[in-house]
Amino acid sequence: MNVAELYKLWSEDPYFDEKTREELLAIKDDQKEIEERFFRDLEFGTAGLRGVLGAGINRMNMYVVARASTGLGQFIVSEGEEAMKRGVVISYDSRHFSPEFAEITARTLTYMGIRVYLSDELRPVPMLSYAVRWHKAFAGVMITASHNPSKYNGYKVYGEDGGQVPPEAASKILSFIEGIEDIRTVKSDSLEEAKQKGLLTYWGEEVDEAYTDMLEKLVIDREAIEAQKDMSIVYTPLHGSGNKPVRRILARLGLKNVHVVPEQELPDGSFPTVEVPNPENPAALSMAIELAKKEDADLVIGTDPDSDRIGIAVRTLVDGKESYVPFTGNQVGLMLLDYILDSKKTAGTLQDGSFAVTTIVSSKLAGAICKYYGVELQEVLTGFKFIGERIKLDDEFGNKHFQFGFEESYGYLSGVDVRDKDAVVAAMLIAGMLAQSRQRGQSLVDRLNNIYARFGYGFEEAVAVTLEGKEGIEKIAGSMKSLRADLEACQNLEQAQKLLNGAPVKAVRDYQTSKRYVFTEQGIEVETINLPVSNVLLYELGGDKDLDWACARPSGTEPKLKIYFGIYANTEAASRERLAKTKEIVSSAVKAKLN
C-alpha cells in the first residue's frame, strides 16, 4: 500500500481503536505529517525498535509493538518447542505507554503458545538482562527508549545470553516481521486468557534479591567502604527505573548518607524536571547538584530512565571556589578501569588471561592502562551488544576472564551475569571508588589527574547533528555516501590531507567495507578489518602519541549524525588545544556533507 492507502486504512478500519482514528483524522490536512507517519515501517534495527509515540506504521504504538512481537514469536516458534517453553522475559521503564507495550507484547506471545515472564513493575535494562539468564529464558524484551526525549519509546530484543540479540537473529526476526503484510492479521490473548493458559508468570522480588546478591559479590575494597560509610552522596534516577535497585545496593553496602532528589525520585514519563533525561548532559544533574550543596556531598550520581547509563559530578575547587564538575563518560570509564585492575592486582586477585573491552570511539588511554596491568584490551564496534558478545565468546565459552567494559556514551559493566551496560553496578563501583580515594586522602579529581600523570593526557568530545524525519534520514545517508566518495577518490597522503579540510589524515578505517586505507606519499596500502560490517568511518590523525582520531557515524538509536574526536599528548594544554582545532576543522568538513 502507498502512504494514502495506509492512512485511509488506519483512519477508517474498525480494527484500529477510536483514539487512533481521532489522532489521524486530526492531521488529515497535514500531508507532510501523514507522509512522516506512513512512508515506511518503523525500522527494526539490530536491537529492535525506537521511535516517536503516535499512530502510524512509522511510530511507536500498540499495533506496531504487537506486529514486532508476532515476528519475534514466529522466530521463537521456528526454533522449536524447547524455545517456546523457555519463553521470553519482559520488563519496561517509566516512559509513556511502557506498561501497556509490555503487556501487549506478553499477550501476543502467549497467543502463540510461548511462555512469558512479565515484570510486576518497572525494572531497568540490566535487571532484564540478568532475569533472562536467571530464568534460563530463550529471549527478552525491554520496553524503553533509553535516554531519548519523552516523545520516544522503544522495543529492545535480547538473546538467551542476556545480551542484545545478535545480527543474525535480528535479521531472522526482521524477516518474520516483514512477512506480516497486513497488520490486521496480528492477534493476541486477553490478559485473562494469557493467565488461564498458564503461560504468563510475573517476576519481581526474588530476582531483585538475586541481582543484588550478585552485585554485592562484585564489591571492591569493602574495608574502604566500611570506613567511609558516612560519606555523603546525592542520587537522582531522573524519573526512571533506577530508583529502587541503585538505592538497594548502596544500602546493602552500608552507605548511610545517600540523598535522593525528591522531585526526580518517582517514575514519570514526561520527565518534567529535565529537558532530556540523559545523564550525559550536565544540565540533567542540576537539581542533584543543588541538593549536593545543601548536603555537603562529595559525589552526584544520575541514571537515565532505563538505568543503563550513568553520569556523575564531583565536588572540587574551580578558581578557588567549591564547585561540582561533571566527568565525561570516557573519564569515568578510565577511572573505573584503573580502580578495578589496580585493586585486584594489589589484592592478588587479577587472574591471568584477564581482558577488558571498549569501543572504537572510546578513549585510547584504555590501552595504556591495560598494558600497565598486563591485561588484554579488546576494541569492538559501537554498541554494548558487542561487549556482551566478547564476554560470551572469551569468558563464558573461552578461557579468559572479563574484568570491565565501557563505552564513551556513559555505559559500564563489571561481572558476567549481566550482558548490557549497567548503571546499577556502575553506581556501586563509583561509590566504592570514592570511598577508596577518601581513604587515601584523595578526591576523585585527584584520582583522574593521577591517571593523566601516569598515562598521558587524552580528551575526547562528540558532536551530534539531529535531523529528524524522512528528509533527515536521507541527508544523513547522503553525507556518509559523500564522505566515502571522497575516500574512494583519494590516492596518496597529500590527497588524504584534503579529506577533512586539512586535518592530518594518515589512514582511514571504513567499517562498511571492512578496509583500512593507509596513505603514503607513493600511494595506498589496504588492510582488512576483522570486525562486523558497520556504517562507520574512522580517520587516524597521528599526533604526539600516534593515537589521535576522528570518526563519523549515524546513530543506531536516534536520528543523528555523530562526529567523534580523540586527541592525546604529554600535556593537558597541548591535548586540549589540538582537540579544539580538530573539532572545528573536522566538524565543518562533515557537516558540509549534510547540505
> Which among 163, 104, 111, 102 is positioned nearest to 132, based on CA atoms?
163
Element (H, E) at 158: strand 152-158
The side-by-side arrangement of strands in the sheet containing 233-236 is 258-260, 233-236, 299-303, 310-318, 321-326
Domain ranges within the chain, ordered by starting residue: 40-203, 207-455, 458-594
d(CA 367, CA 220): 22
Q: Which CATH class is domain 458-594?
A: alpha beta
Question: Cβ(218)–Cβ(414) under 8 Å?
Answer: yes
- Chosen CATH of 40-203 out of 3.40.50.300, 1.10.132.20, 3.40.120.10, 3.40.50.2020: 3.40.120.10
Inform me whether the pLDDT recorded for 176 exceeds 70. yes
Q: What is the DSSP letter of 43?
A: P
DSSP string, 545-591: TT-EEEEEEE-SSSSEEEEEEEEEESSHHHHHHHHHHHHHHHHHHHH
* Contact by Cβ (8 Å): 86, 115: yes
CATH of domain 207-455: 3.40.120.10
Amino acid (1-letter code) at residue 371: K
Give the pLDDT mean for 419-440.
Answer: 98
% of the chain at pLDDT higher than 90:
94
Rounded to two decimals, what is the model's pTM?
Answer: 0.94
d(CA 202, CA 195): 10
Radius of gyration of the chain (CA): 24
Q: For residue 142, give the 3-state DSSP assignment.
A: strand
User: Which of 556 and 192 is assigned the larger pLDDT?
Assistant: 192
Query: How do strand 116-119 and strand 200-203 relate by DSSP bridges?
Result: parallel
Average pLDDT of 419-426? 98
Which of 146, 307, 354, 534 is an active site residue? 146
Model confidence at 46, in pLDDT bands (50, 70, 90)? low
Handedness of CA 483, 486, 490, 493 (dihedral sign): negative
Beta strand 233-236 with 258-260 is parallel
Q: Which amino acid is at 508?
A: V
Query: What's the whole-number mean pLDDT along residues 13-41?
Result: 96
Q: How confident is the model over 315-332, as pLDDT tens digits?
A: 998 778 889 999 999 999
Closest by CA position to 289, among listed 276, 281, 274, 300: 300
CB 309 within 8 A of CB 411: yes
For 169, other C-beta atoms within 10 Å of its C-beta total: 18
For 292, the 3-state DSSP assignment is: helix
Main-chain phi, psi angles of 288, to 5 degrees: -65, -35
Return d(Cα 356, Cα 373) in angstroms, integer.
11
146 as an active site residue: the answer is: yes
Instruction: Decide whether 40-203 matches 207-455 in CATH topology.
Output: yes
Whose cell is 559530578? That residue is 313
Read off the pLDDT of each residue in 335-341 and give the average, rounded to a whole number. Answer: 98
DSSP 3-state assignment of 427? helix
Please, what is the Cα angle at 167 between 161 and 169, to 5 degrees?
65
pLDDT attached to residue 47:
72
The three cell numbers locating residue 241: 527505573
Average pLDDT along the chain? 96
Query: 125-145 pLDDT, tens per residue?
Result: 999 999 999 999 999 999 999
Tens digits of per-residue pLDDT, 560-585? Answer: 899 999 999 999 999 999 999 999 99
Long-range residue pairs from 51-55, CB within 8 A, at least 24 positions apart, any chain: 51/152, 51/153, 51/154, 52/151, 52/152, 53/96, 53/97, 53/151, 53/152, 53/153, 54/23, 55/10, 55/16, 55/20, 55/23, 55/24
List CB contacts of 100: < 8 A, sequence separation 6 or more.
Answer: 62
pLDDT score of 558: 73
Q: How far apart are CA 42 and CA 289, in angstroms?
A: 38
CA 321 to chain centre: 34
The total of other beta-carbon atoms located within 10 Å of residue 352's CB is 9
How many C-beta atoms lie closer than 10 Å to residue 294's C-beta?
9
* pLDDT tens sequence across 71-81: 999 999 999 99
Can you name the residues that pair with 158 across neighbouring β-strands? 140, 164
pLDDT in tens, 149-172: 999 999 999 999 999 998 889 999
State the average pLDDT over residues 583-592.
Answer: 95
Closest by Cα among 136, 142, 138, 302 to 210: 136
Backbone angles phi, psi at 516, to 5 degrees: -110, 120
